[in-house]
Amino acid sequence: MNLILLYLLLLKATATSFSGLTSMPVVYHDFVETRHVLTDRQLNAAVTAGRTAPGPNGLYVVSVGYFIAGVPGACAGCLAVITPAFLIIPMLRYLGARAAQPAVRSAIRCVMLAASGLVVSATVPLARDALTSPLAVGIAVASFLFLVFTKKDTVWVVLGSAAAGLAGKLL
């Protein structure tokens, strides 16, 4: 895939989202469903890599770029994460006061709510690919409960689930 097109598609995903994984529905739509240059399993692996590393959660986009076009693709992904961030500076200069207006706050909240529905929608096909055994389903449910109720770091989930997968193979 052409690197500029890859960058623009990843930028479309990051620039139309409002937090780390909420760009995933667009990534899924463009790369898995429409262009078939990424598999469900690779997208799952990208999310895991992004959540395992330190730094922003949205860096899974770097892994997506790497799967599609190697190191240059990863650079395109990193650039797509960086680019929209600078929009905040003109916003800080000119729009700071308006961010508190009730209609604007209400619209933003509704976008976040819709994003949560979209994330669930994107999770369904990925879960269908990944959750193919009772152990995998158990790991997914345990990960969800662990993260929601303990507020512990994601890295423990990744390490624990890897250990559970390994134990399932050895036992």
Partner 1 sequence: MPQASLKRLTWIFLRVGNLTFGGGDPTMAALQSELVLKRRWLDVEQYALIYGLARITPGTNLVAFSAAAAWQILGWPAAVLAVLAMTVPPSAVVVMLTSGYQSWNSNPLAMAAIGGSIAAASGMMATSAWQLLAPEIRPGRWLRAGVIFVASLVASLVYSMSPIAVLGLAALVGFLWQAAE
The upper half-sphere exposure of residue 18, i.e. CA atoms within 13 Å in the direction of its Cβ, equals 11
Tell me the chain's radius of gyration from C-alpha atoms.
18
Smallest separation (angstroms) from partner 1 to the CB of 21: 4
Nearer to partner 1, 6 or 24 (CB): 24
Residue 35 makes CB contacts below 8 A (sequence gap 6+) with 1
Nearer to partner 1, 3 or 168 (CB): 168
Nearer to partner 1, 5 or 141 (CB): 141
Smallest separation (angstroms) from partner 1 to the CB of 89: 5
Distance of CA 38 to the CA centre of its chain: 14
DSSP H or E stretch at residue 161: helix 154-170
Smallest separation (angstroms) from partner 1 to the CB of 34: 10
Smallest separation (angstroms) from partner 1 to the CB of 101: 10
CA distance 23 to 39: 17
Nearer to partner 1, 6 or 21 (CB): 21
CA distance 89 to 9: 23
